[in-house]
Amino acid sequence: MAVNTALMVLSWHENLPRDEQPPREIWWSGELLDEWFKNVEDDRSSRSTKKRSSYDEADDTPMSGNVLTEGLRPDRDD
């Protein structure tokens, strides 16, 4: 169990921003960790509704041809 907990804590430090890492005093409490990460998820959700990606608002752009590869493709009869 100690090894699993250590690996879990290391993964938090590797994958989470500092403000989303749980404090050391709750590492051994499953209930407090569940509550912590529920709060983190709620914070992420509230932040994601405020910011929108520019990708969502981008116009569809038709694909362009590539002059260098035009001779490599077989002609298609559609």
Distance CA 52, CA 58 (A): 11
Give residue-wise pLDDT tens across range 48-77: 765 566 666 666 667 677 778 777 777 665
Structure confidence at residue 1 (pLDDT): 82
**Residue 71 pLDDT:** 77
What pTM, to 2 d.p., does this model score? 0.58
List pLDDT tens digits, range 7-62. Answer: 999 999 999 999 999 999 999 899 999 999 999 999 988 887 655 666 666 666 67
Place of tokens 């403000």: 19
**Tokens encoding 21:** 């890492």
Give pLDDT, residue 65: 76
Residues 5, 28: contact at Cβ < 8 Å? yes
